């Protein structure tokens, strides 16, 4: 294995040296994607999720939902709150919240590993903006995709709960709304966004390298032989980095495919989870991504018939909405502010 990795590393180094323009374009595109899609759709939700958890307010704010959900899952309302926050905030939120509960000694290592199987999912803002509007030109399509992905996580939760209890140690202080709580939430969210955006940028270069050697075309040809048709070309990049789901063609079968890809999350997101949940075993998490993706894809089939088709002009407008990095000063200021918060937090910890 080490020899194989050495060869791959040497090939990657050669690619970086011989194709600097391709690498630069990949990094540039990833930065634009992070500034205009990833950070706007995840950062605020991440801050809110962490703040609600740190302060304990989520027990009150989410109780109308956690109470019936706790009866369905036959588990603690607090864990139901973490489940909801994870599937509303976005992919890295669940890993961050579960890891924090484990580090604080409130759940065991085994419980954390099992919770990771269902405390994982894309937020509605990301799905509606990236898949609903960019692929199908319809917010309704995005909401249908989110419902399908949420169902996949819920089925995983039911399966996990059927195989044993999920014990949690009660917290002594129920609520603690302080300035430090808010500052800590923003710093934690900035750290999560930094990890997410760095991983997305790195994977954009990996995808560019694989496209350079024709791996994407070979994979697309294989899928075409298997009957995927026009959908063949967009699957490979989205399997690696889920925001590339925006390249899926809005043809027949696109809704189930997008639902399955979004439910799985892509290799890049899986590595983000691994980075945020370093001390938690992820074997079960990886295993459970497959049935969740299949459930989401199956659920998207009937839901797709409820979504009216978008006008071609709407689709064309949605496809051309990406703005130039140099023209989006507000987004640049936001990411610089986030980096400043992260660095300030790191200095304080040191």
Query: Can you give the three-state secondary structure of the chain, one letter per residue?
Result: CHHHHHHHHHHHHHHHHHCHHHHHHHHHHHHHHHHHHHHHHHHHHHHHHHHHHHHCCHHHHCHHHHHHHHHHHCCCHHHHHHHHHHHHHCHHHHHHHHHHHHHCCCCCHHHHHHHCCCCCCCCHHHHHHHHHHHHHCCHHHHHHHHHHHHHHHHHHHHHHHHCCCCCCCCCCCCCCCCHHHHHHHHHHHHHHHHHHHHHHHHHHHHHHHHHHCCHHHHHHHHHHHCCCHHHHHHHHHHHHCHHHHHHCCCCCCHHHHHHHHHHHCHHHHHHHHHHHCCCCCCHHHHHHHHHHHHHHHHHHHHHHCCCCCCCHHHHHHHHCCCCCHHHCHHHHHHHHHHHHHHHHHHHHHC
Burial class (CB in 10 A: 0-12, 13-18, 19+), 74: exposed
In a domain, 56, yes or no: yes
pLDDT at 328: 46
Domain carrying residue 274: 20-349
Tell me how far apart the 2 most distant CA atoms of the chain are, in Å. 59
pLDDT tens digit sequence for 15-53: 888 888 988 998 998 888 888 878 887 788 788 878 887
pLDDT tens digit sequence for 298-346: 999 999 888 776 554 444 444 444 433 334 444 445 545 545 544 455 4
Share of the chain above pLDDT 70, in %: 86
- Cα→Cα distances 218→229, 236, 285, Å: 14, 10, 29
pLDDT tens digit sequence for 281-301: 999 999 999 999 999 999 999
Lowest-confidence segment of 146-155, 185-194, 223-232, 240-249 by average pLDDT: 223-232
| pLDDT band at residue 174 under the 50/70/90 scheme | low
In a domain, 9, yes or no: no
pLDDT at 114: 94
pLDDT at 313: 44
- Cα→Cα distances 314→143, 225, 311, Å: 17, 31, 5
Question: What's the CA gap between 119 and 92, in Å, rounded?
Answer: 10
Lowest-confidence segment of 93-102, 193-202, 224-233, 262-271 by average pLDDT: 224-233
Residue in the block written with tokens 């040191």: 350
In a domain, 12, yes or no: no
Provide the domain count of the chain. Answer: 1
Question: What's the CA gap between 32 and 201, in Å, rounded?
Answer: 10
Q: Is the pTM of this model over 0.85?
A: no
**Quick one: average pLDDT of 222-250?**
83
pLDDT at 340: 52
Nearest CA to 306 out of 150, 145, 137 is that of 145
pLDDT at 256: 93
**Quick one: average pLDDT of 237-264?**
89
**Quick one: average pLDDT of 215-223?**
85
Residue in the block written with tokens 């945020």: 276
In a domain, 317, yes or no: yes
In a domain, 99, yes or no: yes
Task: State phi, psi for 85 to the nearest 5 degrees.
Answer: -60, -40
CA 24, 27, 33, 39 dihedral sign is: negative
In a domain, 127, yes or no: yes
In a domain, 6, yes or no: no
Nearest CA to 241 out of 214, 275, 264, 223 is that of 264
| pLDDT band at residue 6 under the 50/70/90 scheme | confident
In a domain, 60, yes or no: yes
Task: Name the CA dihedral angle for 95, 98, 101, 104, rounded to a multiple of 10 degrees.
Answer: -40
């Amino acid at each position: 294995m080490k020899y194989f990795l050495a060869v791959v590393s040497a090939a990657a180094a050669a690619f970086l040296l011989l194709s600097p323009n391709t690498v630069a374009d990949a990094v540039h595109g990833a930065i634009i994607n992070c500034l205009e899609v990833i950070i706007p759709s995840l950062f605020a939700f991440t801050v809110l999720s962490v703040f609600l958890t740190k302060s304990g307010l989520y027990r009150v704010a989410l109780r109308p939902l956690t109470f019936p959900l706790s009866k369905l899952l036959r588990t603690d309302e607090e864990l139901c709150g973490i489940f909801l926050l994870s599937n509303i905030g976005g992919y890295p939120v669940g890993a961050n919240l579960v890891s924090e509960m484990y580090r604080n000694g409130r759940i065991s290592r085994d419980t954390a590993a099992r919770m990771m199987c269902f405390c994982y999912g894309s937020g509605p803002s990301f799905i509606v903006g990236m898949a609903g509007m960019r692929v199908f030109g319809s917010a309704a399509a995005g909401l249908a995709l989110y419902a399908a992905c949420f169902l996949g996580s819920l089925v995983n939760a039911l399966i996990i709960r059927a195989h044993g209890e999920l014990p949690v140690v009660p917290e002594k202080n129920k609520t603690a709304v302080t300035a430090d709580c808010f500052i800590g939430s923003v710093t934690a969210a900035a750290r999560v966004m930094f990890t997410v955006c760095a991983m997305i940028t790195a994977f954009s270069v990996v995808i560019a390298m694989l496209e350079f050697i024709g791996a994407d075309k070979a994979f697309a040809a294989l899928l075409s032989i298997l009957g995927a048709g026009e959908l063949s070309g967009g699957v490979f990049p989205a399997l690696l980095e889920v925001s590339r789901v925006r390249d899926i063609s809005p043809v027949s079968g696109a809704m189930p495919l997008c639902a399955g890809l979004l439910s799985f999350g892509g290799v890049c997101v899986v590595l983000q989870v691994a980075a945020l949940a370093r001390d938690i075993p992820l074997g079960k998490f990886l295993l459970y991504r497959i049935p969740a993706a299949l459930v989401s894809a199956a659920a998207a089939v009937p839901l797709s018939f409820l979504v009216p088709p978008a006008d071609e002009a709407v689709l064309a407008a949605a496809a051309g909405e990406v703005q130039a990095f140099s023209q989006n000063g507000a987004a640049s200021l936001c990411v610089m502010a986030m980096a400043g918060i992260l660095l300030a937090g790191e200095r304080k910890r040191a």
